[in-house]
Amino acid sequence: MANWLTRLAGGRLNAPAERKSSGPQALFSLAQLGEANWTKRGFVSLANEGFAKNPVVYRCVRMVAEAANSVPLVVEENGRRTSDHPVVTLLRRPNPRQSGSELLEAVYAYLQTAGNAYLEAAIVEGQVRGLFCLRPDRMKVVAGKDGWPAAYAYSVGERTRQLSQEPAPVPKVLHMALFHPLDDHYGMAPLEAAQQSLDIHNASAQWNKSLLDNAARPSGALVYSMGEGNLSPDQFDRLKTELEEHFAGAMNAGRPMVLEGGLDWKTIALSPRDMDFIEARHGAARDIALAFGVPPMLLGLPGDNTYSNMVEANRALWRQTVMPLVRRVADDLSYWLAPAFGGATLVPDFDAVEALAEDRAAMWERVGAASFLSDEEKRGLLGV
């Protein structure tokens, strides 16, 4: 039966044998361009391939989570801020196993890697006594008759707990989710948006590692150079199978080959220098950083000079990524815990962030120079 190799050889592979002299016969290791293999979507797969194996993803997640976690949360009542309040005390020591910093860092990290973060309230005698962060991949929404979450099912192994959303005094679970245009309940993580760039970055690393393991030798072509005759169909099929099974793909890059009589090796593949894997890796790394909202300059990636210096790049990270994320989490916590703590409102205290000191000083100067404002109005604008 004719196939693409038959057509490539001019339809002569199955033709009657002819007795005539012929030039060298070449067998190329070719393959049709098939569909790309992408990492499966889902928290576990992306966390394994991204956070656990990719240094760019790991650094982006840690950078955003640690920066956001450095912002203290205070309570605002009647226009005044205080750090001495029961809800602040709860957040400082949410449970016997975690500090407040560890809990909130997990929240920020889960939002970056899963798009969802869950907090469970430990309610004792009608009061919130503790907070626990739950793994997103173990949580499932239990929708009510109206389609909205009526409860959450948390599964560990074969055991499943049902967590009610009835206020007593607050719903049992706080579900924080980043925006997802195609899902009513679950959020979309930056890691999911960066999936293709993540796979390209990991694949290029795997390819280069395979080349190094095999003496960095590129692939090529086998040339049949006997004076007369061609390869028999059995020889052709056997050689083709050996090439595909033992010498094709990233894991077999540069693998040495034992040649039989009449076969010669001719290098035809592009070298790693020509294919420029390093630049491809840098491009994929910049796309990953873009998805997480981290300026590539802060990751030490070349080829990105958008910001004139590190201070400006760090300020962009805070303004465009960290501050919106912290405000979002603070608003969700306030909405959730307010009924149990007298309507207290949690707000982030960005004045305590050293990276924003220059912006804060400029704001104080502008407000102080506004002669048309009273002292009380200036205090209100500055939050003091």
What is the number of other CB atoms lying within 10 angstroms of the CB of residue 132?
A: 15
The answer, yes or no, to whether residue 16 has pLDDT greater than 60, is no
pLDDT of residue 304: 64
Residues 6+ apart with CB under 8 A from 42: 137
- The burial of 5, by beta-carbon neighbours within 10 Å (0-12 exposed, 13-18 middle, 19 or more buried), is given as middle
Q: How far apart are CA 72 and CA 78, in angstroms?
A: 19
pLDDT of residue 20: 44
Closest CA to 81 of 352, 324, 346: 346
CA dihedral 180, 183, 185, 186 (to 10 degrees): -50
Tens digits of per-residue pLDDT, 207-258? 777 766 665 555 566 666 655 556 677 777 777 777 667 666 556 655 656 5
SS3 state at 66? helix
Helix spans in the chain (H): 4-8, 43-46, 55-69, 86-92, 100-113, 190-193, 195-213, 233-246, 272-275, 277-292, 310-317, 323-337, 357-368, 375-382
Give the β-pairing of 116-124 and 173-177: antiparallel
pLDDT of residue 19: 46
> In which element (H, E) is residue 119 found?
strand 116-124
State how far Cα 377 lies from the chain centre: 44
Q: With cut-offs at 50, 70 and 90, classify the pLDDT of residue 204.
A: confident
Q: What is the mean pLDDT of the chain?
A: 80
DSSP 8-state secondary structure symbol assigned to residue 81 = E
pLDDT of residue 73: 92
- The burial of 21, by beta-carbon neighbours within 10 Å (0-12 exposed, 13-18 middle, 19 or more buried), is given as exposed
The answer, yes or no, to whether residue 41 has pLDDT greater than 60, is yes
What is the number of other CB atoms lying within 10 angstroms of the CB of residue 85?
A: 18
Average pLDDT on 147-160 reads 93
Tens digits of per-residue pLDDT, 158-190? 999 999 999 889 999 999 999 999 999 999 999
SS (H, E, C) 326-350: HHHHHHHHHHHHHHHCCCCEEEECH
CA dihedral 5, 8, 10, 14 (to 10 degrees): 0
Closest CA to 337 of 139, 167, 153: 167
Tens digits of per-residue pLDDT, 352-384? 788 777 777 777 777 777 777 777 776 766 666
pLDDT of residue 141: 94
Q: How many residues does the chain have?
A: 384
pLDDT of residue 274: 55
Instruction: Give me the residue spans of the domains in the chain.
Output: 36-217+269-352, 356-384
pLDDT of residue 68: 96
pTM for this prediction: 0.75
Q: How far apart are CA 116 and CA 356, in angstroms?
A: 28
Check whether the bond before 169 is cis (ω within 30° of 0).
Answer: yes
Q: How far apart are CA 360 and CA 76, in angstroms?
A: 19
Q: How far apart are CA 196 and CA 75, in angstroms?
A: 41
Determine the straight-line distance between the first and last CA of the chain, rounded to whole angstroms: 84
